[in-house]
A and B are shown apart, each in its own frame.
Chain A
Amino acid sequence: MKHMFARAGQFAAAAFGAALLLSTAAQAQIGPAPGPTVDAIKKRGALNCGIDTGVPGFAAQDNSGTWKGLDIDYCRAIAAAVLGDASKVKFVPTTAAARFTVLQAGEIDVLIRDSTLTFSRSAQLGLDEVAVNFYAGQGFLVRKSIGVTKAADLQGATICVITGATLELNIADFARSTGAKIGTLLFEKPDEAVAAMEAGRCDGYTDDTGSLAGMRSTLKKPDDWFVMPELISKEPLGLHARSGDPRWQKILFWLDTALKSGEEFGVTKANADSMKTNKDPFILRLVGAEGDFGKLLGLDNEWALRAIKAVGNYGELYETHFGPNALNLPRGLNNLYNKGGLHYTLPLR
């Protein structure tokens, strides 16, 4: 009896080993497992997406309490690609102080919260900025009547500034490097600064470009003011992920590329399905009609198609949240590389 069981056991073990070999061989063909973060997301059935508590254009709630914004749509696109359903996102609003801690602690899978990657964040915090979804920078909103076109001409002008952030520091650095004398008037809240500007106490206001556009739209006479194209600091905002799960980072990186490639090749929310019969191989790979690109990421081949169908391509997202009907911010650096911007899409091949 005992022998029989032992032999049966050996047989089972051998069969199991063979099956294991076969399955790994099969897996090597279709691609690797997607990694622990995706496993956790699938098990949970929802993506935990860290977002801002409220910033115009990136993340804000509409009257019905639904989140909207560029960062929000990125979260939805990721959920559509990984889980197949853009609504399976748990939005976790994070404050500036806590955002990186909650990411490190694993309370969120990805942080898309208009956060800049700097050297110290990369080297000290164990986080990686996987992709840049918005190139911002500190700019100026100035009164047209002072007749200034570039920042170096602001000699003698007075600028309203919000205290506490790096804004003051950047202006001081800029003034030092160009030798211009720029006066500053400090305020605690943007609304106070707006009131001071409209009362003529200062000639302009400085903040991140996205915020400047939002602020301009609230002025009594927006046409009297303009946002200077020139920037005095670099703020690449994008998707942050924990170090340690390279497969998850690859998914995030290529998802961002897919949204931007969608714009480049004209794949939109509306026409995405019909693109499956297109002739361009890049489009076919993007919508999953050719090659095994999704499977190589550990997903299925229609991952990017679903993301674009759910939220639209990058150009559509920009149009919705920053276009003329929204914040009216010119695309500038946020255009594609072939239209004078910085969004360079790596080839899907």
Chain B
Amino acid sequence: MGLLRALFGTKLNALITVLMLAGFALVLPPLFGWAFGSAVWHGPNRKACVDAGACWAFINARMPLFFFGNYPAEERWRVGCALLVLVVPLLGAMASRRAGLWLAILGIGVPVIDAILLYGGVFGLPVVATARWGGLMLNTTLCFVALGGSIPLGIVLAFGRRSPYPVVRLVSTAMIEFWRGVPLLTVLFMGLILLPMVLPDGVTVDNLVRALVVLTLFTGAYMAETIRGGLQGIQPGQAEAAAALGMHPMQVQLLVLLPQALRMSIPGIVNIAVDLFKDTTLVSIVGLFDLMGVVNQSLKDTDWLGLATEGYTFAATVFFVACLLMSLGGSFLERRFGTTPHR
């Protein structure tokens, strides 16, 4: 009943509802017809598809490329293992009572294990050069490494900017303002074009490493401001009370202020994480084949020319689902640790 009143309660509301329904009726049936009704799901090339329906055969044929890039087929299990190694401690840190233990594993153990799994070279795992990494796996790697690097960096910079020492304050502020003041794309291009000119001939830095460093520094600056916002939201009485208990200034900052600031920054941090995940698609412009890069590139295969709609629809869906998962994770964290009252 409440819903009906909300939709048809007044004349204006009723009019808006009818117009919206008419709009849906106009748009949705052809869309469904295209996406499902007359779509073709399997086929060796574009000739198998029909004009009226979506050519999902294209997505189907290229699924491994979209998820793994050129990662060798016989080594792809390693990517799955790496994801598992990442997700288990992540869930542990979010849900378990011993969050600290899981966080320590997440911060120290996971990067090492995953680096070994993905890159290889030890324990009989063949080396898979980073040039072969691609697809959604690359987006995920970029996002998690940049996130893992930028949170500690952001904490340091946030404290640095509030430091009583002018030099520390100045350096932190300069760092934050520089990275916030330049567009990400510009920095990626600089890493790609300027770096080879500065380095001696023959010395090359891995393309992926360049992108990782740039993304980490860039995100670190935003992280710092979000955490600083959290620090400023804490009442001065907290620090004074802690000092009155005889705590060392360092203890006051790390044990009293920081945990509360991080709690208050959860929505901001999740926001940055979602943003970062979407920003990782920018690396396709500097020659790395992330999901977006693989889609763009697949559109150029002579077997599958002219399927941009299908390609971009698929990419949008994948990103939406991934970002939705991150948002859900974020709201779970807020409910568990957040200081905002429960609704």
List 19 A-B pairs, Cβ < 8 Å. Answer: A53-B289, A54-B296, A54-B299, A56-B301, A56-B302, A61-B65, A61-B297, A62-B301, A62-B303, A97-B192, A102-B196, A105-B197, A105-B201, A214-B302, A214-B305, A215-B306, A220-B51, A326-B302, A327-B302
Q: How many residues of B contact A (CB 8 A)?
A: 36
- Say if the beta carbon of B286 comes within 8 Å of chain A: yes
With the chains together, A95 CA to B64 CA distance in Å?
24
The answer to whether B324 has its CB under 8 Å from any CB of chain A is no
Report how far A101 CA is from B201 CA in the complex, Å. Answer: 12
The 4 closest A-B pairs by CB, nearest first: A218-B306, A105-B196, A54-B300, A54-B297
In this complex, what residue of A is CB-closest to B73? A64
Residues from chain A with Cβ under 8 Å of B301 in the complex: 54, 56, 60-63
Q: Find out whether the CB atom of A56 lies under 8 angstroms from the CB atom of B196.
A: no
Residues of A with C-beta under 8 A to B51 = 220
A55 interface residue, CB < 8 Å from B? yes
The answer to whether B299 and A217 have CB atoms under 8 Å apart is: no
Query: Complex formed: what's the CA distance from A321 to B300 in Å?
Result: 12
A217: chain B residues at CB < 8 Å are 302, 305-306
Does A173 lie at the interface of the complex (its beta carbon under 8 Å from any beta carbon of B)? no
**Does A290 lie at the interface of the complex (its beta carbon under 8 Å from any beta carbon of B)?**
no
In the complex formed, the residue of A with least CB distance to B134 is A65
| CB nearest neighbor in B for A66 | B70
Given A63-B65, A106-B202, A220-B51, A98 and B286 touching (CB < 8 A)? yes
Distance, CA A327 to CA B69, complexed state (A): 25
Cα distance, A63 to B306, chains bound together (Å)? 16
> Given the complex of chains A and B, what is the CA–CA distance between A53 and B301 in angstroms?
11
Q: Is B193 an interface residue (CB 8 A)?
A: yes
CB <8 Å contact, B196 and A95: no
Number of interface residues of A (CB under 8 A): 37
Tell me whether B287 and A53 are in contact (CB under 8 A): yes
Residues on B with beta carbons closer than 8 Å to the beta carbon of A327? 302
Determine how close the nearest CB of chain A comes to the CB of B156; give it in whole angstroms. Answer: 32
| Nearest-CB residue, chain A, relative to B312 | A191
A60-B301, A95-B192, A105-B197 given. 16 additional CB < 8 A pairs?
Answer: A53-B297, A54-B298, A56-B300, A61-B65, A61-B301, A65-B64, A98-B189, A98-B286, A101-B196, A104-B196, A105-B201, A107-B204, A191-B306, A215-B306, A219-B306, A327-B302
Q: Closest Cβ of chain A: how far from B263's Cβ, in Å?
A: 42
* Interchain CA distance A291-B270 in the complex, whole Å: 70
A93 contacts partner chain B, Cβ-Cβ < 8 Å: yes
Query: A65-B65, A214-B302, A218-B306 given as contacts; is B297 within 8 A of A97 (CB)?
Result: no
Residues in B whose Cβ lies below 8 Å from that of A97: 189, 192-193
**A219 partner residues in chain B, CB cutoff 8 A:** 306
Smallest CB gap from A50: residue in B: B287
A54, A65, A98 pick with most chain B CB within 10 angstroms: A65
Q: Which residues of A contact B287 (CB under 8 A)?
A: 53, 92-95, 98
Residues of B within 8 A of A106 (CB): 196, 201-202
Q: Which of these, B70, B189, B300, contacts A55 with CB under 8 Å?
A: B300
Question: Are B65 and A194 closer than 8 Å at their CB atoms?
Answer: no
Would you call A98 and B69 a contact (CB within 8 A)? Answer: no
Asked if B313 is at the interface of the complex by the 8 Å CB criterion, the answer is no
Q: How far is the CB of B304 from chain A (nearest CB, A)?
A: 8
User: Whose C-beta in chain A lies nearest to the C-beta of B192?
Assistant: A98
Assess whether A57 is interfacial by the CB under 8 Å rule: yes
Inside 8 A of A60's CB, which chain B residues have their CB? 297-298, 300-302
Q: How far is the CB of B216 from the nearest CB of chain A, in Å?
A: 21
Q: Mark B283-295, 1 if CB is under 8 A from A, else 0.
A: 0111101000100
Is A90's CB within 8 Å of the partner chain B? yes
- Please name all residues of chain B whose beta carbon is closer than 8 Å to the beta carbon of A107 when the two chains form the complex: 196, 204
**Residues in B neighbouring A3, C-beta threshold 8 A:** none
Contacts of B298 in A (CB 8 A): 54, 60-61
Q: Does B61 contact A (CB under 8 A)?
A: yes
> What does the 1/0 interface line of A58-75 toward B look like (CB < 8 Å)?
011111010000000000
Q: Smallest distance from the beta carbon of B191 to chain A beta carbons, Å?
A: 10
Chain A residue contacts of B284, Cβ below 8 A:
53
A328 shortest CB reach to chain B, Å: 10
Q: Are B303 and A95 closer than 8 Å at their CB atoms?
A: no
Closest to B46 in A: A218
- Whether B199 is near chain A, meaning CB under 8 Å from some CB there, is yes
Does B308 reach chain A (CB closer than 8 Å)?
Answer: yes
Residues from chain B with a CB closer than 8 A to the CB of A98 are: 189, 192-193, 286-287
Nearest CB in chain B to that of A65: its residue: B70
Docked complex Cα distance between A330 and B296 (Å): 26
Question: For the complex, what is the distance from the CA of A56 to the CA of B300, rounded to whole Å?
Answer: 5
Contact call B131/A90, Cβ cutoff below 8 A? yes
A65 with B69: CB separation less than 8 A: yes
Residue of A nearest to B293 (CB): A53
Which residue of A is nearest B69, CB measured? A65
For residue B237, give the distance in angstroms from its CB to the closest CB of chain A.
54
CB of A279 within 8 Å of the partner chain: no
A2 located at the interface, meaning its Cβ lies under 8 Å from any Cβ of chain B in the complex: no
Q: How far is the CA of A219 from the CA of B51 in the complex (A)?
A: 10
B42 within 8 A of partner (CB): no
Complex Cα distance, B70 from A98, in Å, reads: 22
Task: Return the CB mask of B167-207 against A: 1 if under 8 Å, else 0.
Answer: 00000000000000000000001001100110101101000
B336 in the interface, Cβ–Cβ < 8 Å? no
B205 to A, closest residue via Cβ: A107
* A95, B197: Cβ atoms closer than 8 Å: no
- Confirm or deny: A349 has a beta carbon within 8 angstroms of a beta carbon on chain B: no
B10 — which chain A residues lie within 8 A by C-beta?
none
Task: Report the Cα distance A194→B61, complex, angstroms.
Answer: 24
Query: Which of A93, A105, A191 touches B289 (beta carbons < 8 Å)?
Result: A93
The docked-state distance in angstroms from the alpha carbon of A106 to that of B195 is: 12
Q: Interface readout for B40-60 with A: 1 if CB under 8 Å, 0 if not?
A: 000000100001000000000
- Specify the chain B residue showing the minimal Cβ separation from A103: B196
Chain A residues whose C-beta falls within 8 Å of the C-beta of B286 in the assembled complex:
95, 98
Complex: A218 Cα to B307 Cα, angstroms: 8
Q: Separation in Å of the A49 CB from the closest CB of chain B? A: 12
